[in-house]
Amino acid sequence: MLVPMSKVEIVGLKSLFFPVLETLQDLGNLHLEDITKKKGPRYADLIPMEMDPAMEEEKARLQNLLMRNNAILSELAPPEEKISRSDIEEKYREFQGKSLAEIEAMVEEEEKATKELINYKNELEVELSRLSKYEPIIRKIYPLASQITTSEHYTSVALLVEERYVNVLDYIKAELEKITNKQCEVHSARVDANTHAAILIFPKRFSEQVHNFLAAENVNQVRLPSELADKPYDEALKEIEERYKEIPPKLAKVREQLDEISKKWYVTLLALKEYLSDRIESLNAIPKFGQSGHVFVIVGWMPADEVEKTRKLLEEKFEGKVELTEVAATHEELEHAPTALRNPFWVKPFEFIYMLINPPKYGFTDPTFLVAIFFPLLFGFMLGDMGYALVIIGLSYLIKYSLKKRGSKSVFFHMFANVLILAAISSFIFGLLYLEFFGDLLLRWFGWKDAEGHLIVKWVWGHTPNGKPWGWPLERIAQANPDLFKLLLIVVIAIGALHMGTGLVIGLIDGIRHKDRKHAIEKAGYLLFLLGLILAFGSMWGFKGIKSVAVPTGLVAAFVGIGMAGYGGGFGGGLEAALTFGNLLSYARLYGVGLASVILAEVANELGAEFGGGAMVLLGVIVAALLHTLNIALGILSPSIQSLRLNLVESFTKFYKQTDVVYKPFKRAGGE
C-alpha cells in the first residue's frame, strides 16, 4: 500500500538553519520540495536561499577533503575483520562535533602517514610490471647469454627468431661477417619448440652499421630497458633478473605496513567519506529553501505517521525556536506528491516490478498485492511440478546465501530470489494437483498410467460431457480427453478474466475516490465489456440452458461497455475496451507454456528410460538429468517473463497510473 503523506513546513530562526538541516538529515524522513517552484500567495514573499561566498568556500573545502580522503581509501585494502555499522556511526558522530579545520588537519596527518608508502608501493608495482615484460625474454636468452663473455671493445645484440625462419640466421651471419670483416660471432640455440635465440657479438665500432642492417632487414631485436641498453646482454639480463627477484618481498613489506594503517584508519576514513558526502549534499539542497528577513522556510512531504514525532523532536531540541506545521496540500500539489510504498513481507519482494515501471501515483491504489497474488498463481499454473519447485527453492536459497556471503547490496537479486521462492511454492502446490515430479516420474513409479500412457484418475471429481472422468491427479496432456483440454483452457481464460477484472475494479474505485467521472465510466465500460464476453461465451460453453438469453444480453453488454469506455476515454478508450478480448485470450499462454514444459519433462524421462535400459542406468540418468536441467532453466525464465508480462501488459495497462515523483527523503546517504 501507499504510505499516506503529509505536506509540512518547517520555519525557524536563521541562526539555527544548519543545526536544523543536520537534524533533518539524521531523521531522514523529509522529502524536500523546491520552494522556488512553488506558486501562490503563501510563498510569494519568500526569497529563495542562495549559497553565499562563505558557503561556496565551505563546499569547495569539503569537496577537496572528500577527494583526498577517497584517494587514500582507494589505496588501502579493507581490513580483514568485519567492519560494523556501529563503529562507522560512532566515528561519524565524532566528526559532527569537529570543525572543518580539525578535519583538514586529520586528513593531512593521514596523507603524511600514507603518501610516501603509497608512492613507494606504486613505484614498485610499476617497476614489477615493467620488468615482468622482460621475464619471458630473460628465460629464453639468459641461458645463452650466460655462456658468452664479451670484452669492453665488443658489444652484442640478441635476436629471437621463429623456428620456421631459422635459416635467416645463416644469412645474417654472412652479412655480419661482411660488415665486420669476419670480426664477429653468432651464437644461437633453440630455446623452446617455436623459438631460436641468437646473440650477435661484434666490435663496438661497427655498431651503427650492424643496427642499420638489422633494421633494414626488419629483424626483431630484443630491446632492454633504456638504463641497461649500453650493457652487454649477460650483465643486463642478470641485473634484470636480480631486480625482478628483489621487488616482491619489498612490495609485500610495504603492503604489510599499509595493512597496519588500514586496520587503524579504515573505519575513520569510511565514516569521513560518509560525513563529507552528507555535508556536501546538505549544502547542495540549500537553493531549495526559502527565507525572509530572520527565518528560513523548508517545505516538503513526510509520512503522515511521522509528523507528530518529528514536530516534538524539533520543538524539544530547538526549544520552540523551530516549528513544524502540517499544511493542507492543494489538488495540484497532491498530483505531484511523492510515492512511498509500505507492504507486508509477502508482498514486498514483488516491488521489484517498480524497477521496470514507475511506482503508482500518489492517491491511487498500490497494485503490488495484485502482483503478489497473481504472479505466483500464474507461474505455478505454468510450471506445476513438485520436483522443479524444490530445485528452484534450493537455487533461490543458494542465491540468497551467496549474496549474503559476498555482502552484495543488489536489491534486484535479493527481491528476485524471494519472488522465486514464493513462485516455486505455488509451483509445488500446482505440481501436487497435476501430480508431477520431474514430469511423470511419480506416475511411472506408482504405475498410475494405463497401457496407452494415459493417466489413471484416482479421485474422480466429475465427468466431462463425453463421459470421461476427471479429478486428481489432473492430467495436463489430455490427449485421450479433449474435453479436459477444453476445460483447462476455459480455466486459464477464467483466471485471466479474474486478473483483469480485479485490476479494472481497482481502476473503477480509484475513479470514484478521485471523483473523476470519466475515468470511472471508462473503467466501468471495460468491466462491462469483459462481463458481457464472459456471459456470452460462458453460456455457449458451460450454461447452455440460458444460451438464448445470455448470448444476446452478453453481446449487448459488451457493446455498451465499448460505448462507455469510448465516452470515458475517447477513441483510445473504446479501442482499448475492444482489445480487452485479445488480452483475455492472451492468457491461453498459461496453458501453452505449461504444456511445453510438461511435454519436455516427459520426453526427458522417456529418453532416460530408452538410454538407460539394462546396465546403462547411469547413461539414462545423465540424459534425463541434462534435459530436466534445460527444462528447469526454461521453466524459470519463460513462466517468469510470461507472468510478468500478463501483469504489466494485460492487467496494468487497463488501470495503472504511474507517478513522476518517488519519495526520496533528505537523509544521510553517505555518498551512495
Partner 1 sequence: MELGLIAIGAAIAVGLTALATAWSQSRIGAAMAGALAEKPELAGQTIILIAIPETMVVLGFVIAFLITTLKPAE
How would DSSP label each residue in 88-114?
HHHHHHHHHTS-HHHHHHHHHHHHHHH
Nearer of residues 337 and 415 to partner 1, judged by Cβ:
415
Tally helices (H) and strands (E) across the chain: 19, 11
The least CB distance from residue 652 to partner 1, in Å, is: 11
For the segment 214-253, give every residue that binds partner 1 (CB under 8 A). none
Span near partner 1 by CB under 8 A; candidates 45-53, 211-219, 283-291, 482-490: 482-490
Which sign does the torsion angle of CA 309, 297, 300, 286 carry?
negative
Establish if 51 lies at the interface with partner 1 (CB under 8 A).
no
Can you give the length of the chain in residues? 672
Q: How far is the C-alpha of 64 from the C-alpha of 96, rounded, in Å?
A: 18
Q: How far is the C-alpha of 338 from the C-alpha of 303, rounded, in Å?
A: 10
- Residue 160 CB-half CA count within 13 A: 15
Span near partner 1 by CB under 8 A; candidates 26-34, 133-141, 187-195, 485-493: 485-493
Establish if 355 lies at the interface with partner 1 (CB under 8 A).
yes
The least CB distance from residue 372 to partner 1, in Å, is: 18
The least CB distance from residue 592 to partner 1, in Å, is: 5
Q: How far is the C-alpha of 145 from the C-alpha of 235, rounded, in Å?
A: 9
Nearer of residues 278 and 351 to partner 1, judged by Cβ:
351
Nearer of residues 280 and 579 to partner 1, judged by Cβ:
579
The least CB distance from residue 529 to partner 1, in Å, is: 18
Distances (CA, A) of 565 to 25, 543, 650: 47, 28, 17
Looking up cell 528577513 gives: 293
How would DSSP label each residue in 165-211?
GTTHHHHHHHHHHHHHTT--EEEEEEEETTEEEEEEEEEGGGHHHHH
List the one residue from 404, 613, 649, 664 that touches partner 1 (CB under 8 A): 649
409-436: burial string, b at 16+ Cβ within 10 Å, e else: eeeeebbbbbbbbbbbebbbebbbebbb
For the segment 569-608, give every residue that binds partner 1 (CB under 8 A). 582, 585-586, 588-589, 592
Strand partners, 12: 296, 322
The least CB distance from residue 653 to partner 1, in Å, is: 11
Residue 116 CB burial class (10 angstroms; 0-12, 13-18, ≥19): exposed
Q: How far is the C-alpha of 156 from the C-alpha of 606, rounded, in Å?
A: 73
Q: Which one-letter amino acid corresponds to residue 333?
A: E
The least CB distance from residue 351 to partner 1, in Å, is: 13
Nearer of residues 196 and 589 to partner 1, judged by Cβ:
589
Total interface residues for partner 1 by CB under 8 A: 18
Q: How far is the C-alpha of 323 from the C-alpha of 310, rounded, in Å?
A: 10
Nearer of residues 276 and 644 to partner 1, judged by Cβ:
644
List the one residue from 19, 28, 136, 482 that touches partner 1 (CB under 8 A): 482
Establish if 645 lies at the interface with partner 1 (CB under 8 A).
yes
The least CB distance from residue 39 to partner 1, in Å, is: 33
Contact letters for partner 1, residues 356-375 (x by CB under 8 A) = x-------------------
Establish if 642 lies at the interface with partner 1 (CB under 8 A).
yes
The least CB distance from residue 306 to partner 1, in Å, is: 31
List the one residue from 148, 648, 661, 669 that touches partner 1 (CB under 8 A): 648
Using CB under 8 A as the criterion, which residues of the chain lie in contact with partner 1 when the complex forms?
355-356, 482, 485-486, 489, 582, 585-586, 588-589, 592, 641-642, 644-645, 648-649
